[in-house]
Amino acid sequence: MIANDSMSRINIPQVSIPIWKDLYEAARIFREIKCWNWMWDSDIFGIGNPENGEIGYCCVLGRMGEVFGMVTYLGTEGLGEYLRIQSEEIRPGDTEALFVQNCLRVFFEDRGELQEPDLQVIKMLGLKFRGRSSWPHFRSLRPGYFPWYLTESEAKYLTLALRQATQVALRLKKEPDWLAPRGENQYLVQVPIRHGDSWDWENQWLEPSPIEKTTVRTQPIDELRMRRIIKTIRQRQGIWEADCFYTPMVVEEKERPFYPRTVLCADHESGFVLGSEVVEPSEWQSEFPKKMLQWIENHRVLPNELWLRKREAVEILEPLTSRLSIKVQLAKNLEAIDEAQAALLEFISKDRRRKR
């Protein structure tokens, strides 16, 4: 998905000219060696970030002749998304692939794929690119956010990553087995070692750091509202399904455009949508319980059971479900939710086509 012209003019991070110059030069050298002629996207290796110690896991694209460039997946979480894509748990064309990646990327594309801010930087630097798949196109991807322009710190790290990736690729050309794993779950990582005012790079075989468990922020219960529901709503009926998922529409607010989440609840038997609400990605944990209470009040009934797909959702709603004596079941298949989500996506797709 490509930003439109109005989006391209808002909230663009400021990057200094020397940083841009270094990045474009590193990209030029990387493209010149055409390492995708001997590397596959499964040849992954790590490059440490001197600023924060985070490891970016790089893979080169282009062997199949479709997309040329490099993607640097950030940290263990970014690596996990890469592995899900490699295993085809997430396919490149899947809707989910838009929302979950945490990476920096450079693609070499045709001029028409770049937006005006990209072209302005190229013009300011006095650079010339000719031919197909020759124009560097840099983007930052974060879970839940629209692919966006680099910050200065991201540009600095991507410059390092491209420089080191060039060295890795040239050695791999001479030693094709160099990246073969030395042990289970180990990756070759170029680790920065400070020497005075500069950095040297040391090759180490490392296991990815453990993923830190996401903290679930349960919200205090509205005690007055809860007592009112317990007192006035006595009827219990059926099974409800509920879920929260990213929605393929872009909201142009705050510092960076984002994909909102939709909180949705439906009746298991009839498929009737009991309620839906679009919320900001960062606010879904606090909004989910509020919306569930609202839908219970609107329909004047409590479900006998509530089926949820995400364990995180079970934890978020636990103060509500335990107090209201609603049995909760973790279910992989939520047919009513899936049908409602498919209908929503079709509506968004039709509306997008109508506005073109």
pLDDT digits (tens, 9 = 90+) for 71-87: 999 999 999 988 988 88
pLDDT at 215 (0 to 100): 62
**Contacts with 52 (C-beta within 8 Å, 6 or more apart), sequence order:** none
pLDDT at 95 (0 to 100): 61
Residue in 317, 308, 254 with CA at minimum distance from that of residue 284? 317
Distance CA 87, CA 90 (A): 8
Q: How would DSSP label each residue in 83-113?
A: HHHHTTSS-TTSTTHHHH--EEEEEEE-GGG
pLDDT at 6 (0 to 100): 42
Pairing outcome for strands 273-279 and 261-267: antiparallel
Q: Residues 215, 217, 218, 220: what is their CA dihedral angle, to the nearest 10 degrees?
A: 150
C-alpha distance across the termini of the chain, in Å? 14
**Contacts with 103 (C-beta within 8 Å, 6 or more apart), sequence order:** 56, 71, 72, 73, 74, 78, 81, 82, 141
> What are the residue ranges in the chain where pLDDT is below 70?
1-10, 91-97, 212-218, 254, 355-356
Domain formed by 223-355, architecture = 2-Layer Sandwich (3.30)
As annotated, the residues of the chain forming the CATH 3.30.420.10 domain(s) are 223-355
pLDDT at 92 (0 to 100): 58
Distance CA 249, CA 88 (A): 24
pLDDT at 174 (0 to 100): 96
Distance CA 70, CA 93 (A): 18
| Tens-digit pLDDT profile for residues 252-284 | 876 788 899 999 999 999 999 999 999 888 888
Distance CA 43, CA 345 (A): 35
**Contacts with 239 (C-beta within 8 Å, 6 or more apart), sequence order:** 267, 268, 269, 303, 304, 305, 306, 307
The count of C-alpha atoms lying within 13 angstroms of the C-alpha of 339, restricted to the half-sphere facing its C-beta, is 11
Q: Which two tokens stand for residue 68?
A: 């040329």
pLDDT at 86 (0 to 100): 83
Q: How many CB atoms lie within 10 A of CB 258?
A: 22
pLDDT at 8 (0 to 100): 43
pLDDT at 5 (0 to 100): 41
